[in-house]
């Protein structure tokens, strides 16, 4: 777990090991908001791991007319708005893209060109996860809960008023009192320091270093000095000393470079005692007019203002977010009522008379067992079977989606709830989202949310 925080004796599995705390707003919909935030966190796992991102607290913020998300101290706290001011839930994909925007602020606090490059990269990776149908790891994988349908059914309508800005800005804590900067040494002091570092505190006569002489003599300890300069011993010592000087010159160059860097920058860990953040402006104020404070009670400074609506990248992002809340196109045909395009074939079964289908489904399988429970006393010819009873007793209904063998009289799969016999289930409907396109999965008429992708029932079918 990042940030040096470790969770002990966890009561349940966490959706994202890089998000420490998930905090919804208290109220009647707290459990639904908790599940909403957990699913947002679960889908961000691959992106946060790949880019080494971490968030201390992911929180829900109350609906307002200014922003949908904001970031504090580069990921210490990320706040997301989950509802509109009318109380409807924002689309799930909409909030996911807002989360990508706020995670990009962990890398770049300001809305610069570099920030939009990071944000677009995160958004592209999220679209890849959508194509892979990735919703999380482990228990947070594909599937839909009853609480999921709560925000899908009560989702924001088309044209509903949304906050003016997507991002409410980035904030950081004011810096406290820091250590006083060390006085910069003049040229003479720097030279003395360099000589002291290279040659030591006390001078030394040449040729008196016994350890150095032993190295040049290849480990031999010779007390006397070479008397003749042209002797073999003298030549060997000069050659060994020259090689030693070459190595020493290399080390001196490295030391000189380090000293130049240190002289230019002074001390990298020393700062002035004054609070440098005083020049950044007044303390940040929340939407309710109260002063923003961090966990230590210090004021916060707004680093980045709200997004610029004239920026091309911001316009592209806003256009993409607005497309998430649109409903599928509806067309009307004479005599058939409102129909979803591409779903005309399933609706033809609605005109069938349900009374005509009751005898084969209810009476057929039940009557033959009653005749078999009373064995005849005399040998009788084989009983005559009705045309519909033989096939229902000799085979099972196999679901085309999950290939589960259901009971002969079943019209809905007991495993995946797929309606594999639409003639027996009136008002069944097929999901038109891109996740379910090309599949044979059909939902029952009383199902308000798709059992595969969680998309709510189209309005045209729901009002039929």
Structure tokens at 383: 């009983």
**With the CA atoms of 396, 398, 403 and 405 taken in that order, what torsion angle do they form, in degrees rounded to the nearest 10?**
-30
**With the CA atoms of 249, 251, 257 and 258 taken in that order, what torsion angle do they form, in degrees rounded to the nearest 10?**
-150
Which long-range contacts link 255-259 to residues 24+ away (Cβ below 8 Å)? 255/194, 255/197, 255/198, 256/194, 259/190, 259/194
Q: Catalytic pick from 60, 102, 150, 317?
A: 102
User: Beta strand pairing status for 69-72 and 167-173?
Assistant: parallel
Tell how far CA 111 is from the center of its chain: 20
The count of C-alpha atoms lying within 13 angstroms of the C-alpha of 32, restricted to the half-sphere facing its C-beta, is 20
Reply yes or no on whether 102 is catalytic. Answer: yes
Cα distances (angstroms) measured from residue 45 to each of 31, 167, 182: 22, 22, 44
For 398, list phi and psi in degrees, rounded to 5. Answer: -95, 130
Q: What residues are annotated to the active site? A: 102
């Amino acid at each position: 777990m990042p940030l040096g925080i470790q969770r002990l004796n966890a009561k349940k599995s966490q959706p994202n090991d890089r998000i420490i705390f998930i905090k919804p707003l208290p109220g009647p919909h707290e459990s639904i908001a908790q599940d909403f935030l957990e699913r947002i966190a679960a889908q961000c796992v691959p992106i946060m791991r790949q880019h080494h991102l971490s968030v201390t607290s992911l929180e829900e913020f109350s609906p307002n007319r200014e922003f949908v998300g904001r970031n504090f101290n580069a990921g210490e706290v990320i706040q997301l708005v989950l509802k509109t001011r009318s109380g409807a839930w924002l689309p799930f994909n909409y909030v996911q893209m807002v989360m990508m925007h706020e995670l990009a602020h962990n890398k770049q606090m300001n809305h610069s060109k570099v920030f939009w490059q990071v944000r677009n990269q995160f958004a592209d990776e999220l679209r890849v996860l959508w194509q892979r149908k990735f919703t999380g790891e482990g228990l947070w994988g594909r599937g839909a809960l009853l609480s999921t349908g709560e925000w899908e059914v009560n989702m924001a309508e088309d044209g509903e008023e949304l906050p003016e800005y997507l991002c409410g800005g980035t904030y950081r804590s004011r810096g406290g009192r820091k250590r006083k900067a060390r006085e910069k040494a003049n040229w003479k002091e720097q030279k003395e320091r360099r000589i002291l570092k290279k040659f030591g505190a006390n001078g030394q006569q040449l040729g008196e270093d016994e350890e150095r002489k032993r190295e040049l003599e290849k480990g031999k300890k010779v007390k006397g000095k070479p008397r003749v300069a042209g002797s073999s011993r003298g030549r060997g010592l000069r050659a060994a000393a020259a090689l030693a000087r070459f190595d020493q010159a290399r080390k001196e160059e490295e030391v000189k470079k380090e000293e130049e860097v240190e002289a230019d920058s002074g001390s990298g860990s020393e700062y002035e005692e004054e609070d440098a953040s005083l020049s950044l402006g007044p303390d940040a104020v929340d939407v309710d007019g109260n002063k923003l404070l961090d966990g230590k009670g210090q004021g916060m400074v707004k680093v980045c203002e709200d997004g610029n609506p004239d920026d091309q990248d911001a316009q592209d992002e806003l256009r993409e977010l607005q497309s998430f809340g649109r409903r599928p196109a509806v067309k009307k045909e004479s005599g058939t009522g409102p129909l979803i395009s591409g779903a005309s074939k399933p609706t033809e079964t609605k005109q069938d008379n349900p009374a005509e289908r009751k005898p084969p489904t209810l009476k057929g399988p039940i009557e033959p067992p009653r005749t078999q429970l009373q064995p005849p006393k005399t040998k009788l010819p084989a009983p005559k079977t009705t045309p519909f009873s033989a096939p229902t007793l000799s085979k099972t209904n196999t679901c085309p989606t999950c290939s589960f063998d259901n009971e002969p009289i079943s019209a809905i799969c007991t495993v995946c709830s797929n309606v594999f016999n639409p003639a027996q289930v009136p008002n069944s409907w097929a999901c038109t989202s891109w996740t379910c396109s090309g599949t044979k999965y059909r939902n029952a008429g009383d199902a308000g949310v798709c059992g595969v992708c969680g998309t709510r029932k189209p309005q045209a079918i729901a009002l039929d």
